[in-house]
Amino acid sequence: MSTEKSYMPEGAQLKAFIDSRHRWGMIWQSVFLLATCIGILALTALIYNVVDSAFGLVVVEDRIDPATISTRPLEELSKDELVAILQANLSEGAFNKLNTDQPYTSRSKENVLEVVYERVVRREVEGSYSLTDSLLRRAEIEQEVAQENPNAKLIFRSWLTPQFLTTPMASKPEFAGIRTALLGSIALVMLTMLFALPVGIGAAVYLHEYASQSFIYKLIETNIYNLAGVPSIVYGMLGLAVFVRALEGLTSGAWFGVTDSNGRTILSASMTMALLILPIIIVNAKEAIKAVPDSFRQAAYGLGATKWQTIWAHVLPNALPGILTGSILAISRAIGETAPLVVVGASTFITVDPDSVFSKFTALPIQIYSWTARPQAEFRNIAAAAIIALLVLLLTMNASAIILRNRFSRRSY
Amino acid sequence: MINVASATQTHTNGHANGPVAIEVRNLKFFYGNFKAITDVNMQIEEKRITAIIGPSGCGKSTLLRAFNRMNDFVSSARVEGEILLHGRNLYAEDVDPVEVRRRVGMVFQKPNPFPKSIYENIAWGARINGFKGTKADMDDLVERSLRGAALWEEVKDKLKESGYSLSGGQQQRLCIARTIAVKPEIILMDEPCSALDPMATLKIEELMQELKKDYTIIIVTHNMQQAARVSDKTAMMMLTPDGKRCGTVIEFDATNIIFTRPKDKRTEDYVSGRFG
Amino acid sequence: MATSTDIQTRLATTSQLRLNQLTKKFRLGESVIQTLIFTCGAISIVITSAIVVVLGQEAFLFFSNPEVNLIDFFTTTKWSPNILQFGIWPLVTSTLVTSFIAILTAMPLGLCAAIFLSEYATERVKGLLKPTLEVLAGVPTVVYGYFALTFVTPFLRNIFGRETVEIYNMLSAGLVIGIMIMPLVTSMSEDALSAVPRALREGAYGLGATKLETAIQVVVPAAFSGIVAAFIIGISRAFGETMIVAIAAGAGPKLTLNPFSAAETMAGHIVRISGGDLSYASLDYESLFAIALLLFVITLTLNLISRYVVNRFREQYE
């Protein structure tokens, strides 16, 4: 045995060999770490890109010199003085219409100022620059503007302002806001959850409390798994055929006496979205219900409670935190979905707030989509601002879901 | 009745009569601030089988894993004292644990062959350790290792099959084969038969007697009869009486002495089954 | 006035009643609720059936139209509804190209990240990195589309030149889809890697293997079925992705394998057409359902294959 040749390195050779293996180990460890960081890098690039477009210098040209309307700068005037300027410079019809849309008494000063800029001064944005350009190439930009557009001024503008959130859509990007889109999204999500939550929780209750490990159980489970993997646009097609077209009577409100709408309503959209997020809710609710210790149930049964009484009074209340967390995750998903809404007939230009479930609808992602697709550069800016609004909304929701989850997981039974 | 292996030497506690493979000096082992093992001093003789016995939880496995630095994977593990392999401290600053594990092999409690073919299970260890040779050389190595583990006749026609197609005892012998394929000096065995049936256990115990001609073996076992049957020297471990859950070697001597005329009363109580 | 016999009778009847009450009582409320709950449970089956029926019905109408030929649908290569050409290949090829680019991006990145998280990262680092990757998964696809159009495309145009790279191109969309599905791939792969028992790693370390050798040559092969499943699910997600391609890849079906050129995928086409003027019961309307049916079948098949792979080849370490 000891005379046989050993084919493996020994001594100094062994040391060198092991060292080279360690070197390769280090190299690949860095590669693996790099891969993990690339994802984070991409996220950073995305955020940078969006923020870059949402703030920056804009080249504005005032068709009418503000000095001819008011001796003092417009920003310094009070709201009443601004309203007076409107009255003096607009036709009576236009002035009254603005009042009907939203009474001057209820408008903020910034809002009236915006209107003055839009209607009286007729300020137009001729061009915009990204944040990095605005900060780094300021002198160059000023030169450029002075050459090409001597009448114009260079102002630093944040495209994301409180007005942006409260102003409805407009055809000019500098005066458009996401009010209708935001309200649309909120209304949509609330209605979606109204449909999806009871059904989802019911299905989870069925799967965990009532169903035996039978064929039906496996079938339903497989179905839920498959539905979770169906592309969202297929749900859109389903909604289009069933809710918008086949059930047009219901979704347009014709059955309820509403006459001037069609099937492309908030109702159709929310029912479609409910189908989409159902698997998420079911899976999360099932986990939450599963986590409720069996001893709770046994105690209730032991006292003579029926199955439903036990579930309603003991299981569900204790599963509530988990269900809540799951709901928030589902809402996050629903708020970001675009494709099914487009298919179901989202409108891209609505200026009035939604007033009933049978009204036309739009949503924040739809607005972003429509603005991104336009060629003019300023639409990119407001799309970026809208994206920031959407991301902040999502971040808040996910953060609250995580906080909720942590708070309630510390609770010990 | 306890079967006693024939004693060829008489020893005083701890000192060897033959060449020493591993010497343990004042070993203390910590997990963070928790001291798991204290004051271990022993000399493991070359090409002999040394058993470590004792009640559960007294640190036998921790001591065994200290010999091939497997404890390094626990981030809070810390060693004081020395373990010398042929004079070199395994825990010295400049010693590479990877090299240590090449020289000190390990067979685990539950057989854990790789999800590869029987051939690959053995070839892989050799390859990553720098095996340079032709396919014929590798075939040769695989055959030698399987013969050395008394498994060749049973698997020679199905080398390409998965390691999991073997029975428990065969899997454990496969693990032994892959261990000896990289030519270690020491083989550590952590309760290697506890997951096996008596027939398989017997096969492995016979195998150990063959293996000790070429390798130094240290085995941890909670089966006293096995220790008595198989080993030349036995170390008895127990928790120190101060209640701090720290283990130490209370007696280390020839196996026949440990099992017939132990010097420590606690050893006597344990081997006669009065507790543990 | 109650006589003793009255009382006795009453007592007898009461105990009789009590005995009767031990028998099963039909509770109407309970039954109703049970039926409702069962309906909720069965809804998933209803939805799946509805998808199949609805898509199938419209697709059937589409194919039974004399202008449309099933064979041509699958064999010709021009999709121009105006001139009644309905060959699906331009749309399918574009979908394949973008998905291929996506998975080519996501798979290496995702697997490497998964190996790092499961084999190298400490609990603390893991706790920091995993949620960050989850955030990536939660970003809405419109935002990714915006990113692809306004950041990635100009970037690519700077590198490869404005002549080669069109403003709308498949490479941009593919790369961004890849970034979007990377967290999914990482998460599934990491689960598979973590499920490999520690004993296997110890066996490798015991032979003197380094961490890298153990991770690549023992753990990854052991988790292979889970990793393959992650890969297939990733492809399925990429196939069904709509908004990123709608914004960044271009409008108009085009049969091309050039990733720098614009083209329209199946989902992108559906979204563009349905976003415009569409009358029910028109050929255009029905054609969308045919495409959607094909998309549904492909993604469903991929998902089922993934599940099968996991169940059938789940490595037996025991």
HEC letters along B134-182: CHHHHHHHHHHHHHHCCCHHHHCCCCCCEHHHCCHHHHHHHHHHHHHHC
**Over its length of 413 residues, how does chain A's per-residue pLDDT go in tens digits?**
344 556 777 777 888 888 899 999 999 999 999 999 998 899 999 999 999 888 888 888 887 777 777 777 777 788 888 888 888 888 888 888 878 777 777 777 777 887 888 778 888 887 888 888 888 888 888 888 788 777 777 888 888 888 788 888 887 888 888 888 999 999 999 999 999 999 999 999 888 887 777 788 888 888 898 999 999 999 999 999 999 888 888 888 777 777 777 888 899 999 999 999 999 999 989 888 888 888 888 888 888 888 888 888 888 888 888 888 888 889 988 999 999 999 998 888 887 788 888 888 899 999 999 999 888 888 888 999 999 999 999 988 888 887 887 777 665 54
User: For residue C185, what are the CA distances in angstroms to A39, A295, C152, C232?
Assistant: 12, 38, 22, 9
Question: How far apart are the CA of B18 and the nearest CA of chain C, in angstroms?
Answer: 27
Mean per-residue pLDDT of chain B: 88
Which residues 38-77 of A are in CB contact (within 8 Å) with C? 38-40, 42-43, 45-46, 49-50, 53
Q: Is residue A145 part of a domain?
A: yes
Contacts of A265 (CB under 8 A, 6+ apart): A251, A252, A253, A357, A358, A359, A360, A361
- C75/C91 Cα distance (integer angstroms): 12
The alpha helices in chain C, defined as continuous H runs, are 4-21, 28-64, 70-75, 89-115, 123-138, 141-147, 153-160, 170-194, 198-206, 211-214, 220-222, 224-240, 243-248, 266-274, 283-313
Task: Kindly determine whether residue C199 and residue B112, on different chains, have CB atoms separated by under 8 Å.
Answer: yes
What is the rounded average pLDDT of the residues C241-250? 92
Distance of CA C70 to the CA centre of its chain: 27
In a domain, A39, yes or no: no
Q: Nearest CA of chain A to the CA of B1: how many Å?
A: 37
Closest CA to A391 of A353, A369, A373, A364: A364
A175 token code pair: 């005066």
Please indicate whether, in this complex, the C-beta atoms of C41 and A203 are within 8 angstroms of each other: yes
Q: How many CB atoms lie within 10 A of CB C7?
A: 10
Q: What span, in angstroms and rounded, lies between the C-alpha atoms of C176 and C144?
A: 7
pLDDT value at position C112? 95
The owner of tokens 């209640």 is B243
Alpha-carbon distance values, C151 to A380, A385, C146, C160 (Å): 12, 16, 8, 14
Per DSSP, the three-state class of B105 is: strand
Domain ranges of chain C: 1-64, 70-313
State the best of B128, B171, B183 to mutate against chain C, taking most chain C CBs within 10 Å: B128
A156 shares its domain with A200: no
Residues 22-81, chain A, touching B (beta carbon < 8 A)? 22
Cβ pair C34:A210 closer than 8 A: yes
CA nearest to C222, candidates C198, C193, C199, C202: C193
Closest residue of chain C to B163, computed from CA coordinates: C317
pLDDT at B110: 92
pLDDT category at B13 given cuts 50, 70, 90 is low
- Beta strand pairing status for C79-80 and C85-86? antiparallel
Do A280 and A215 lie in one domain? The reply is yes
How many angstroms separate the first and last alpha carbons of chain A?
63
pLDDT-based confidence at residue B5 (cuts at 50, 70, 90): very low
Residues on chain B touching C206 (C-beta within 8 angstroms): 68, 70, 101, 105-106, 108, 179
Domain containing A123 equals: 52-166
Looking at the complex, does the CB of residue A1 fall below 8 Å from at least one CB of chain B? yes
B239, with CB counted inside 10 A (0-12, 13-18, 19+), is middle
Same domain for A186 and A125: no
d(Cα A385, Cα A50) in Å, to the nearest integer? 8
Q: A63 near A118, Cβ under 8 Å?
A: no
A406, A358: one domain: yes
The third-level CATH classification (topology) of the domain covering C70-313 is: MetI-like fold (1.10.3720)
Q: What is the pLDDT of residue C23?
A: 58
- Does the distance separating the beta carbons of B183 and A14 come in below 8 Å? no
B49-88 residue pLDDT tens: 999 999 988 889 999 999 999 999 888 899 999 999 988 9
3-class SS of residue C175: helix
Q: Are residues A203 and A314 in the same domain?
A: yes
Residue A38 inside a domain? The answer is no
DSSP state of C310: H
For residue B10, what pLDDT band results from cuts at 50, 70 and 90? very low
- Nearest CB to B182 within list C197, C207, C221: C207
Residue after which a domain boundary falls, among A119, A140, A166: A166
Does residue C22 surpass a pLDDT of 70?
A: no
Last residue of some domain: A143, A166, A189? A166
- What confidence tens digit (pLDDT) does each residue in A238-272 have? 999 999 888 888 888 777 777 777 888 899 999 99
Of all residues in chain A, the one with the smallest CA distance to B130 is A8
| Segment B245-255 mean pLDDT | 91
pLDDT band at B3 (very low <50, low <70, confident <90, very high): very low
Identify which of A292, A288, A289, A273 has the alpha carbon closest to the alpha carbon of residue A343: A273
The nearest CA of chain C is from the CA of A32 a distance in Å of: 5
- pLDDT score recorded for residue B11: 33
The mean pLDDT value for B96-117 works out to 93
Query: pLDDT averaged over chain C?
Result: 87
Query: Is some CB atom of chain A closer than 8 A to the CB atom of B162?
Result: no
Closest listed residue to residue C203, CA positions, set C226, C225, C219, C190: C219
Q: Given an 8 Å threshold on Cβ–Cβ distance, is C206 in contact with B105? A: yes
Residues whose CB falls within 8 Å of the CB of residue A134, separated by 6 or more in sequence, listed in order: A55, A56, A57, A141, A156
Pick from B174, B92, B91, B102: nearest CA to B131: B102
Going from the C-alpha of A93 to that of each of A123, A127, A183, C250, the distances in angstroms are: 21, 32, 28, 44
Please check whether residue B132 touches A, CB under 8 A: yes
pLDDT value of residue C72: 82
CATH number at residue A392: 1.10.3720.10
| A315 in the same domain as A242 | yes
Of B183, B61, B161, B62, which is closest to residue B113 (Cα–Cα)? B161
- Alpha carbon distance C37, C41 (integer Å): 6
Please tell me the predicted confidence (pLDDT) of residue C214.
94
Please indicate if any CB of chain A lies within 8 Å of the CB of C205. Answer: no
Q: Which residue has the higher pLDDT, B153 or A173?
A: B153
pLDDT at C138: 87
A211 in the same domain as A149? no
C67 at interface of B, judged by CB pairs closer than 8 A: no
Pairwise CB contact (< 8 Å): B130 & A9: yes
Residue type, C19: L
* pLDDT average, residue stretch C170-182: 94
Most confident of A123-137, B185-199, C55-69: B185-199
Asked if residue A65 is part of any domain, the answer here is yes
Tens of pLDDT along C112-148? Answer: 999 999 999 988 888 888 888 888 888 999 999 999 9
% of chain C residues with pLDDT over 90: 54
Rounded distance, CA C140 to CA C133, Å?
14
Rounded to an integer, what distance in angstroms lies between the CA atom of residue C219 and that of residue C236?
25
Question: Would you say residue A33 lies in a domain?
Answer: no
Q: How far apart are CA A83 and CA B265, in angstroms?
A: 104
User: Which residue of A1, A7, A8 is in closest CB contact with B214?
Assistant: A1
Q: Give residue C185's pLDDT.
A: 94
CA distance A25 to chain B (A): 12
Inter-CA distances, C210 with A27, B129, C14, C218, Å = 13, 10, 81, 11
Kindly give the pairing relationship between strand B104-107 and strand B186-190: parallel
Q: Do A8 and B126 touch (CB under 8 A)?
A: yes
Tokens 């063959």, located at residue: B210
CB contact under 8 A, A7 and B183: no
Residue with tokens 């236009």: A94
Of B96, B182, B214, the CB nearest to A8: B182
3-state DSSP of B204-271? HHHHHHHHCCCCEEEEECCCHHHHHHHCCEEEEEEECCCCCCCEEEEEEEEHHHHHHCCCCHHHHHHH
Contacts of A6 in chain B (CB under 8 A): 183
Do A209 and A123 reside in the same domain of the chain? no
Q: For residue B167, is pLDDT > 60?
A: yes
> Is residue A21 a part of any domain in this protein?
no
Name the least confident of B169-178, B213-222, C158-167: C158-167
A-B Cβ pairs (cutoff 8 Å, strict): 34
In a domain, A130, yes or no: yes
CB contact under 8 A, C116 and A36: yes
Residue of A nearest to C175 (CA): A42
Neighbours of chain A (3+ CB pairs under 8 A): B, C
From the list C38, C143, C233, the residue facing A210 with the nearest CB is C38
Q: Determine the Cα–Cα distance for residues A166 and A183; give it in Å rounded to an integer.
A: 10
Residue with the two structure tokens 């854990």: B112
Closest by CA to C248, choosing from C161, C126, C147, is C147
Cα A349 from chain centroid (whole Å) = 18
* Window 68-97 of C, Cβ < 8 Å to A: none
> Would you state the pLDDT for residue C316?
57
State the total domains in chain A.
2
List the beta bridge partners of residue B251.
B236
Residue B89: strand, helix, or coil:
strand
